[in-house]
Amino acid sequence: MIADQAYDLLQQAAQRGDNDLFLKPIVMGWLIYGRQTGQSVFVMQLDLAQGQALINYFKFNAQMDLSEQRRPQIGAWHYQEQRLTLDLRLTSVADFQNRECLVIRLLYPIRADGHFINEQRFQILRGQLRQRGLFLFSGPTGSGKTTLLYQLAQQLAQSQMVLAIEDPTEINAPEITQLQVNDLAEMDYQALLKISLRLRPDILVIGEIRDAQTAAIAVQAALSGHTVLATIHARSAPGTLLRLADLGVAPATIASVVTVASYQRLVPLIDGNLAVGLDLMTASLIQQWVKDQNHHVDQWEVWQNDLQQACEQNRITSTVYQQFACG
């Protein structure tokens, strides 16, 4: 059965620790690859009928349009079967020959005891949540920024009301009121923000700041007195500030509204596990950086010190240090 095949595929991916599964079209069907940090693994080849059936099964459960195979689509599925529970984020699009590609992101259950290259960075971040303002989480795709954000949000939800606006919802979190963008129902970020403020949340989660409108929404919510947690794509902690500026947020506003800017990567350890490398800018440093336009300062000094210490403690190899030294 197709459901059994999907289960086996996801179970094996979880056992390998894959971050993504790729269904890549070829002339005779599809090739499936699993991707972990820094490497891809060939899984299997499916013929045309098998591959299309599997793609349709995933798309149907992720509430994607089965009849649409050319235009880009995104979907999400909270997968729960026997001992396997995963949150899946799916993206489909056709290649230049109109053959459908599917990428499945695997989001694992949040661990309260997550590994960090330097645990102190996480404790500083968690301590800053006692303040209000905008908290930015950045890092490349698959760096665990959404997982870290939700780990913190779930802790806050034990005593405060947390509301999330996402497109799509990536992680199922019963403790959090989760709203999903639905353009067909005219429920975009702006409309959902108006609704969310009427619900009077203590903490507001905005899934991703990807355009000027969403950036303005995040800033507006933070200026109105909310604590706002949001992800943003940037290549460093200071890069998150530059990204906000590129999206039209004035420097003075950035200095007054951003409480923490963070950047992270998943760094492979010698024992085979992964640890979060975390770099932070807190409010005082952010304000100074904006005031001085401090682009010439070595933004990786603290990051590199953490990696160097991990290398001296035989937690990472020197090769890994060189690979991740500049983020």
Helix, strand, or coil here: 2? helix
Tens digits of residue pLDDT in 178-234: 888 777 666 777 788 777 777 888 999 998 898 998 899 889 889 988 899 999 999
Residue 123 half-sphere exposure toward CB, CA atoms < 13 A? 4
Residue 313's pLDDT is 95
Residues 6+ positions from 192 with CB-CB distance below 8 Å: 165, 179, 181
- What's the rounded mean pLDDT across residues 129-146? 91
CB-CB neighbours of 194 under 10 Å: 10
Question: Lowest-pLDDT range, 124-128, 271-275, 291-295, 322-326?
Answer: 291-295
CB neighbour burial string for 297-325, b if at least 16 within 10 angstroms, e if fewer: eebbebbbebbeebbeeebbeeebbeebe
- What's the rounded mean pLDDT across residues 46-52? 94
In the chain, % of residues over pLDDT 70: 95
Tens digits of residue pLDDT in 138-192: 998 878 898 899 999 999 999 999 999 888 777 878 899 888 877 766 677 778 8
Residue 214's pLDDT is 87
Q: Which residues pair with 93 in a beta bridge?
A: 101
Q: What is the DSSP string of 5-23?
A: HHHHHHHHHHHHT-SEEEE
Residue 281 pLDDT exceeds 80:
yes
Helix, strand, or coil here: 301? helix
Residue 38 pLDDT exceeds 80:
no
pLDDT tier, 298 (very low <50, low <70, confident <90, very high otherwise): low
Residue 273's pLDDT is 83
In the chain, % of residues over pLDDT 90: 59
Helix, strand, or coil here: 84? strand
Q: Cα(122)–Cα(155) distance, rounded to whole angstroms?
A: 13
Q: What is the DSSP string of 227-242?
A: EEEEEE--SSHHHHHH
Q: Which residues pair with 31 in a beta bridge?
A: 24, 45
Residue 142's pLDDT is 79
- The answer to whether 303 touches 279, Cβ cutoff 8 Å, is yes
- The answer to whether 138 touches 233, Cβ cutoff 8 Å, is yes
List the 20-26 sheet strands across, edge first: 39-47, 29-36, 20-26, 100-107, 84-94, 73-81
- Which of 214, 288, 289 shows the shortest CA–CA distance to 248? 214
Tens digits of residue pLDDT in 73-107: 988 888 988 788 888 989 999 988 889 999 999 98
Residue 246 pLDDT exceeds 80:
yes
Residues 6+ positions from 299 with CB-CB distance below 8 Å: 236, 237, 238
Q: Which residue has tokens 């290398």? A: 311
Residue 297 pLDDT exceeds 80:
no
CB-CB neighbours of 256 under 10 Å: 18
Residue 67's pLDDT is 86
Question: Lowest-pLDDT range, 110-114, 188-192, 203-207, 235-239?
Answer: 110-114
Tokens in use for 257? 């509204």
Tokens in use for 56? 């349709």
Q: Cα(222)–Cα(235) distance, rounded to whole angstroms?
A: 23
Q: Which residue has tokens 């905008």? A: 134
Residue 128 pLDDT exceeds 80:
yes
Q: For the chain, what is the mean pLDDT?
A: 89
To the nearest 10 degrees (0 to 180), the angle between helices 212-223 and 189-198 is 10
Q: Cα(216)–Cα(189) distance, rounded to whole angstroms?
A: 11
Tokens in use for 208? 């991703």
- What's the rounded mean pLDDT across residues 61-65? 92
Residue 114 pLDDT exceeds 70:
no
